[in-house]
Amino acid sequence: MDKSFQIPPQSPTKVIPADKLVNSLQLLLGISFHLTGKLRTDGSTVRKIVSNALLVSGISPEAESGSFEFVPIKKKGVPKLIREMVDTYIITTGDSYNLQVWNRYPNSHSVLVKYSNGETIHCKDIRLIFLTILNFA
């Protein structure tokens, strides 16, 4: 995954709009890729696929170094794709894989990123991308 996604956007208001995000992700419809059945490995693979699709259509400008801080200790709960304020989850049709929402703060008002100009990114601002994987045993 491109490391630029781990840098927050210049402003929470300057991320890709939802309709453009949907259009960017339509490239993923019908593609096939290998799942290992290992949650961390498959999650990483999905993030790479999503980040590559977003890079094709262009991503929002990054925040300048020193203009923001991650609030949670060790960035716990901050999505790897914070640049576009998205997080990815895998959903399968099989019964050997389940949806697990790890590292999510239950309080949707918790601050993830604080900008020096007073803007913030809260847990509730994160947009969730669910990828449905068909034919997974």
The ranges assigned to domains in the chain are 3-133
Predicted confidence at residue 101, as pLDDT, reads: 56
Give pLDDT tens digits for 78-120: 999 999 999 988 877 766 655 555 556 667 889 999 999 999 9
DSSP conformation letters of 17-80: PHHHHHHHHGGGTT------S-HHHHHHHHHHHHHHHHHHH--PPBPPTTSEEE-SGGGTT--T
Give pLDDT tens digits for 47-74: 999 999 999 999 999 999 999 999 998 8
Predicted confidence at residue 137, as pLDDT, reads: 54
Q: What is the pTM of this model?
A: 0.85
